[in-house]
Structure 1
Amino acid sequence: MKRLLQVWMLLIILGLSAAPLCAGVSSGTEQLLKKAEELMVNYRDSEALAMYEQVLEANPDNYTALCKASFLNCRIGERITDEGTKIAFYAKARHYATKAYELKPNDAEANYVMAASLGAMAMISGPKQRLASINQMKTFLDAALASNAQHAGAWHLLGRWYFKMANLNFAEATASKMFFGGVCGAATNEEAATALQTAIKYNPMKIQYYYDLATVYREMKSTEACTQTLEQAIALEVTTRDELELARRCKLMLQEFKK
């Protein structure tokens, strides 16, 4: 009886000592995630990515860190000119997105990063693989918006998807019909514009959305809509190097219509 009492007391002591330890680990993870989010919002992407990967080293199944790390690998990879390095970033983006999707296949963010990583890899792939990836993107974007109809990022990618599919070159259109039954060819510039307008509705501060919408309007030869969109873009407050570059492109495009 005395022996049982000693064991019982030991278990209580171990339980009480373990609780603060678990709480401390959880608290540390939350602090890292909060700091990483602050860094990402301020476009300190490399620092934010390192912090999210630090979280994943301790907890490989941290869903938030997986989604954010995937997104950041796409964003950083887009800026890189060296093809080998770009591919490495996009491969990591796909890896993290796949793990996030395995954890929460019906969640908007997991589907969004899957679509984003597929789109990123498509841009550096051969024609057949590019079309295959772009086809897959649509499924994930539809799922993301079914989960969260106000996901601006998903609407933005959907707008890009429609625009790409509506303007396939002859070889791409032929390959689409041959390998995918021509399903992609049903997209239109009007659908692209609607999706991008919706992205702006839910996040009106992203200059990238305005630039892409203006590009669609230019393709549609909708001069008035294009100029209005460009003027709205130029009026936005921009601070990062990427945003300043987009603002410069918007101004150049606007000058074309005012000649």
Structure 2
Amino acid sequence: MKRQLQVWMFVLMLGLTASPIVAVAGVGNEQLLKKAKELMVSYRDSEALAMYEEVLQVAPDNYTALCNASFLNCRIGERVTDEGTKIAFYLKGKEYASRAYELKPEDAESNYVMAVSLGAMAMVSGPKQRLAGITQMKSFLDAAIANNKEHAGVWHLLGRWYFKMANLNFAEATAAKMFFGGVCGEATNEEAASALQTAIKYNPMNIQYYYDLATVYKELKSKEYCTETLKQAIALDVTTKDEMELARRCKIMLQEYSK
């Protein structure tokens, strides 16, 4: 009887200590996620990614960490010059995106990072694979917008998608027709401009959106809209290295248009 009592006391102690340990871990994850988000917004991508991956070590199915780790791998990979390292980042981004999508296939964020990772991998693939990846992006972008019509990042990527598909070179257009039945009929520069305008509507502080919109207007030979967009971009308060580089490009484009 005494032995049984000791066993039950031990089991009870385990039960009493288990909950606080889980709670502390949960609180720790929330703090890491909050700090990682702050770093991500400040473009301190490597530090933010390390924190998200720290969360994933103890919580492999943390949806927020999976989505943001995917996005950061693609954003970091875009800056890397070594192609092998770039591809490694993109593959990791695709892996995280796929895991997030399995958890929440209808959510805007998982569809968004799937589209981002597909686009990233497309840029380092051969012509056929590149077109396949770009084509696959559209369904994820449509699903993301269906879930959240105010997701600025999705509208921005959709604008880029329209612009890319509307300006395929002859070889790409031929391949698209041969392998995928042609280019999507709605892929026009006007649709690209409209999507980018919507991205700016929901996030008017992102200079990348203005730069991309000005590029589309330049392709459309719309000098008035292009110069106005560039002036708006230059007026933004930029602080990070990436933002300042975009501001510099906007000033150069504006000077060229003002001649």
Residue of structure 1 equivalent to 2:157: 157
Please tell me whether the aligned partners of residues 234 and 250 of structure 2 are also in contact (alpha carbons under 8 angstroms).
Answer: yes
Matched, 1:84 2:100: no
CA contact (8 A) 2:53 2:65 kept: yes
What's 1:146 paired with?
146
Unaligned runs of 5+ in 1: none
Greater CA deviation, 183-192 or 161-170? 183-192
Task: Give a deviation string over 1:4-26, Cα, whole Å, max 9, x none.
Answer: 66655444332111111111111
User: What corresponds to 1:66 in structure 2?
Assistant: 66
Q: What residue ranges of structure 2 are gaps of 5+ in the alignment?
A: none
| Whole-angstrom CA distance in 2 between matches of 1:28 and 1:148 | 29
Measure, in 2, the Cα distance between the counterparts of 1:66 and 1:167.
33
The Cα of 1:241 is off from its aligned counterpart by: 1.0
**Structure 1 segment 1-259 matched on structure 2, within 5 A:** 8-259=8-259
Q: Deviations over 1:142-187 (max 9, x none)?
A: 0111111000000000000000011111111111111111143541
**Quick one: distance in 2 between partners of 1:139 and 1:183?**
14
Q: Secondary structure at the match of 1:184?
A: coil
Q: TM-score, normalised by structure 1?
A: 0.96
Q: Is the 8 A contact 1:165 1:187 kept in 2?
A: yes
2 CA distance for matches of 1:4 and 1:197? 71
| Percent of aligned positions that are identical | 78
- Structure 2 CA distance, aligned partners of 1:230 and 1:34? 33
Q: 1: distance between equivalents of 2:249 and 2:210?
A: 11
Give the aligned residue type for 2:159: G
State the TM-score, normalizing by the size of structure 2: 0.96
Q: Give, in angstroms, the shift of residue 32 of structure 1.
A: 1.1
Q: Is the 8 A contact 1:73 1:90 kept in 2?
A: yes
How much has 1:243 moved relative to structure 2?
Answer: 0.7
Aligned AA (1:220): L
Does the 8 Å contact 1:29/1:55 carry over to 2?
Answer: yes
Q: Is the 8 A contact 1:159 1:195 kept in 2?
A: yes
Query: Secondary structure in 2 aligned to 1:174?
Result: helix
Structure 2: which amino acid aligns with 1:228?
E
Computed over aligned residues only, the root mean square deviation of the Cα atoms, in angstroms, reads 1.4
Aligned residues between the structures: 259
Give how far 1:132 is off: 0.2
Alignment-mate amino acid for residue 197 of structure 1:
Q
Q: 1:163-214 CA distances to partner (integer Å, 9 max, x unpaired)?
A: 0011111111111111111143541101000000000000000000000000
Residues 80-114 of structure 1, C-alpha deviation per residue, up to 9 Å, x if partnerless? 11111111111111011011101110111000000
Task: Give the Cα separation in 1 of the matches to 2:9 and 2:90.
Answer: 53
Contact 1:193 / 1:213 at 8 angstroms: preserved in 2?
A: yes
